[in-house]
Every structure is written in structure tokens, then in C-alpha cells.
Structure 1
Amino acid sequence: MLDVVAVILENEFGDILIAKRKKGKELEGYWEFPGGKVEKNETPENSLKREIKEEMNIDIRVGSFVGESIYKYERGTIKLLAYKGNIIRGEITLLDHDEYRWVKYKELKLYKLAPADVPLVELIKI
């Protein structure tokens, strides 16, 4: 099982950031809570900081643990660990996604979320 992390980034209005997987990438066109793989000898929190810096060129503060989602994709099973967070520095520059949006919690169901991300919606009720 592969450990993966995601961050539920909130802005000052309580909106949540979702990002659309880049064309040509696995799960292209799906929306997700940004994050990525946890590397060997890396904590989930440090992994999130690194991944978000690499994918969006921003620095984040990782907050409380939200929960986990285990999902079996064709390529293998992942354990997705989700944390709340907020941006502490930088402007979003997309490097791994086609677009991003700040959405209200109730709007999340209007987007085609990556399957592993779907259970997190119930866990993050704001």
C-alpha cells in the first residue's frame, strides 16, 4: 500500500482549494485535494509541505489531521492521509495541474473528484 497525503487548504473566507489533474497525467480531468506521495523517512506533514511547494510553488502550514481514505486503483492501493492547512507564503503557480478553484464546501459535490478524495468530503465538513 502506498502512503499519499492531501491538504484541505482553506482561505480566509472558508473556501477550499481543489485542483484539476493535468492532461496526460493519471486521473487527468479529475479534481483533487492537492498533495502527493510520502517519501521514505518523511513525515506526512513534511511530505505535504514539499509536495505543495513542488506542485504549486507555495508554502503552507499543516494543521490538524482530518482522516484517511483507502482506495484500490488498478495500479495499486493507496492510503490517503488528509490534513487541514493554509497558505503562509507565495502565489499559486500551477506546475502539476491544469487549473484550481476555491470552492465552498457545499459545491464540492459538483466536481468530479478523484475516487480516493471522495470519502474525505464527509470528513471535512466545515
Structure 2
Amino acid sequence: MNYRKGIIAIIIDSQNNFLIVQLQSYSKNDWNFVGGGKEGIETPEQNLLRELKEELSIDQNDFNIIGISSTPLKYDFIEPIVRDDITYVGQEKDQFLVKFHGEKSKIKIQLEEIRDYKWVKFEQLSQYLNFPNQLEKAHAVIKELLPVLI
């Protein structure tokens, strides 16, 4: 059984606000963190850099990687998907905590994939992370990599 590899970037700013995105395919109440699938032989760090550049137009000098969770996010799809002649039953994503220190006005979302984005406080995440176990898994990563917030 193949799991598609990828990354999730939990991005915080200097005031400890979290950047969340609403994908074009989501309903109006569903949000997530930036992320995406691995391409070719990318390392997780290369995958992260590419996704942040593609989805938000931010460069490596706009952020620091605080850490990567010891526990990847792994979940099954409702139905398997086929990409590049490989059938995937789910995804397994490395979870990064990233500190954004660039200018927020430089963020330009990739409109083909992302409808909207916003910065929210830790306490507000429960209003936006509605997928099964999404909030609990995000809290676990934040607790592991930035325990002063919890």
C-alpha cells in the first residue's frame, strides 16, 4: 500500500499567529495549513521550500524552520488516487513548524489552489480546523515543537 509523501507547514509569525489557507476545493468552513506532495527525489526540506514558494510566493529568507515533528501526519483517502501511474491509498506528510519573519504584504497566494488565507491566534484554530482529528494533530505538533504556546 502506497502513501503519497508530502509536507505540512505550520507557519507562525512574530506575534504567534498561525497562517491557515482555504483551498479552492474546500467548503467555506474548511481550512488547513500550507502543504503539498513531494515531487521526484525531493527531500522533505526541498518539498517545504518549493511549496512555500509556489503557494505563498515566499522565499527561504522570509522564514526559519523551527523544527520537524517526530510524527508524520498519515491518513487514508476515501478512495485511492492514481498519480504518475502509482495508486495511493493515503498520504503521509512530514510536519514542519516554520517561523515567518518576512513582510506579510509579500505573500501572494496561488489562486489555482488557494481561495483565501488568514492569520489566526492559537485559540482560534478550533474554529477553522474542522477535518477529523485535524485540530488534535496540529496541537500535538505545536506542543512538541513550540511547547510555550500550549
| TM-score of the two chains, using structure 2 as the length reference | 0.72
Aligned-partner Cα distance in 2 for 1:110–1:57:
26
Find runs of 4+ consecutive structure 1 residues off by over 6 angstroms. Answer: none
Structure 1 spans left out of the alignment, 5+ residues: none
Deviations 1:72-116 (A, max 9, x none): 122331112111112355611111311111111121111144447
Q: Identify if the C-alpha distance between structure 1 residues 57 and 107 changes in structure 2 by more than 3 Å, giving closer, same or farther.
A: same
Aligned-partner Cα distance in 2 for 1:31–1:55:
15
Larger Rg: 2
1:121 CA drift (Å): 2.7
Q: Identify if the C-alpha distance between structure 1 residues 122 and 43 changes in structure 2 by more than 3 Å, giving closer, same or farther.
A: same
53, 62, 67: which is aligned to 1:64?
67
Aligned-partner Cα distance in 1 for 2:40–2:66:
22
One-letter identity of the residue aligned with 1:4 = G
Aligned-partner Cα distance in 2 for 1:63–1:6:
13
Aligned-partner Cα distance in 1 for 2:131–2:107:
21
Q: CA RMSD in A?
A: 2.0
Structure 2 spans left out of the alignment, 5+ residues: 81-88, 144-148
Match for residue 123 of structure 1? 141
- Point out the structure with the larger helix share: 2
One-letter identity of the residue aligned with 2:19 = L
Superposed counterparts of 1:1-126, under 5 Å: 1-22=3-24, 25=25, 27-29=26-28, 30-59=30-59, 60-66=63-69, 67-74=71-78, 75=80, 76-87=89-100, 89=102, 91-95=106-110, 96-115=113-132, 117-118=134-135, 119-125=137-143, 126=149
Q: Identify if the C-alpha distance between structure 1 residues 42 and 28 changes in structure 2 by more than 3 Å, giving closer, same or farther.
A: farther
| Number of aligned positions between the proteins | 123
Q: Identify if the C-alpha distance between structure 1 residues 48 and 105 changes in structure 2 by more than 3 Å, giving closer, same or farther.
A: same
One-letter identity of the residue aligned with 2:17 = D
Q: Identify if the C-alpha distance between structure 1 residues 28 and 71 changes in structure 2 by more than 3 Å, giving closer, same or farther.
A: same
Aligned-partner Cα distance in 2 for 1:111–1:15:
13
Percent sequence identity is 25
Q: Identify if the C-alpha distance between structure 1 residues 58 and 28 changes in structure 2 by more than 3 Å, giving closer, same or farther.
A: farther
Aligned-partner Cα distance in 2 for 1:18–1:87:
13
Deviations 1:37-67 (A, max 9, x none): 1112111111111011011111243330123
| TM-score of the two chains, using structure 1 as the length reference | 0.84
Aligned-partner Cα distance in 2 for 1:113–1:4:
21
